[in-house]
Structure 1
């Protein structure tokens, strides 16, 4: 495993006071097509109970994965869906979405989840919004005899097995999976077909090939052409694998809008303020 860059998740707040750990790169675009990863993890409802009231997006995709607890999603397209543990949700916002994500009232045992932002190519940023979730679908789990790969988005091969995740069609051929390695386990994947591969470690520690270890809360940007060998340290390691093909376009971001020029950002603000995005009914 060849690490190109290591990014530490930083504490932040979003929505109505929700405590999150965030990795974001809207400037250098080292993670292209990925822009941001937020991790929400707490057993104290005060850290997340305010949720994310209605807000807009344009020009990007949100991908939400819940490991514990749940959220209710609502949007101006009429989608009202509960996303619970083990499930994912994808929203390709295109020209405009207004949505809210609020903690489920019956999910009272804490919350652990992720929201990942992907960029969209300029040619797609003004297309009609799209929404999918895996609420009624099964998620395949692949094994190489050591690790367990829980498929979230895209097509994956692991060991001698391959399968599609319940969500396909993410921007830039995005593929996302949740890998669990027991203590001391060594596992290998081939993701050389992608131009961008990153790993977010949310549990345990990984041993690095050059010596040393990396602990939870770190994002590693990896060389996709180098052998991807993962070695869990002395406890179970859990990590999200993010793969895709770089879009290679300039990004201008302001809050929930991700476009290619400042003029497009100003137009997005104007369109939202004039009601063109619609509203949640």
Structure 2
């Protein structure tokens, strides 16, 4: 059964951190989400005024953040004394768990800064687990040539290449079983891939034009394109080619209560998170 388009959530211009300009689709207007995905931001600018102020120290609890850098250089530091350089093509996968305080600051004063930050919810039983962090450089992300000559980067999940080999991304073993591909298609090239029927899925086109499933028209860029249930994804690039990220994960089917950087299951848990942060207990072991 093919995955078709069910709704489109346009990215809306906003700012976050100390004034970083970005475009938010999931988690933006009316906090439209796709379980377990909470938020997707795209940042893309050649103007340092849009990004140089960065994201000074701030807290999180109850979910995971995934930062994928298309171009640029950011420095991550946190209360666990982790320090990691996120550079072009790299990924930072951070589990906030019971609490983390971190900063993400640009290490450049000019040039392009492009990429994504994705928030993925944690199940209730894992929301208070210890915080963790992975820095994945570009050369640690497997890539493969597609049958039509395009390219796929496998950040999470699995892809079977032309030789029948299974390529597994560096992120695996998580409760939500995420799939995260970056796909580059040539003009009129098609791509097909199976997605577990148990998973919710969406696509975000960041360059060119793309058609999905039986849709005849090219779809808008910089929007979260939510897909129906199914076990097969079929997409085709336009004459301009296309670049898109494909995301899927197993839904949690649990209540969500969010207050800024805290995402829990009840209002009482949110109040506890706020109190813990105000009294320096957020990151206590």
Measured against the shorter chain, the TM-score band is over 0.9
Q: Which residue of 2 aligns with 1:191?
A: 195
2:165, 2:34 → 1: CA distance?
27
- Structure 2 residue runs without a partner (length 5+): none
Q: Give the match's secondary structure for 2:276.
A: helix
Q: Which residue of 2 aligns with 1:225?
A: 230
1:114, 1:194 → 2: CA distance?
25
Q: Give the match's secondary structure for 1:187.
A: strand
| Alignment deviations for residues 233-262 of structure 1 (CA, whole Å, 9 cap, x no partner) | 121211111011000101000100000011
1:223, 1:205 → 2: CA distance?
20
Q: Give the match's secondary structure for 1:268.
A: helix
1:118 to 117, 120, 145: 120
- Is the CA contact (8 Å cut-off) linking 2:33 and 2:39 kept in structure 1? no
Q: Which residue of 2 aligns with 1:134?
A: 136
Q: Which residue of 2 aligns with 1:243?
A: 248
Could you tell me how far 1:211 is from its partner in structure 2? 1.9
Q: Which residue of 1 aligns with 2:85?
A: 82
The normalised TM-score by structure 2 is 0.91
- Is the CA contact (8 Å cut-off) linking 1:204 and 1:233 kept in structure 2? yes
Find out whether 1:61 has 2:48 as its counterpart.
Answer: no
Q: Give the match's secondary structure for 1:205.
A: strand
1:55, 1:246 → 2: CA distance?
27
Q: 1:15 to 1:272 in 2, by over 3 A?
A: same
Q: How many residues align?
A: 278
Find out whether 1:24 has 2:26 as its counterpart.
Answer: yes
- Structure 1 residue runs without a partner (length 5+): none
Please give the residue correspondences for 1:1-281 in structure 2 after superposition, counting only pairs within 5 Å: 1-25=3-27, 30-105=33-108, 108-135=110-137, 138-146=140-148, 147-158=150-161, 160-208=164-212, 209-225=214-230, 227-278=232-283
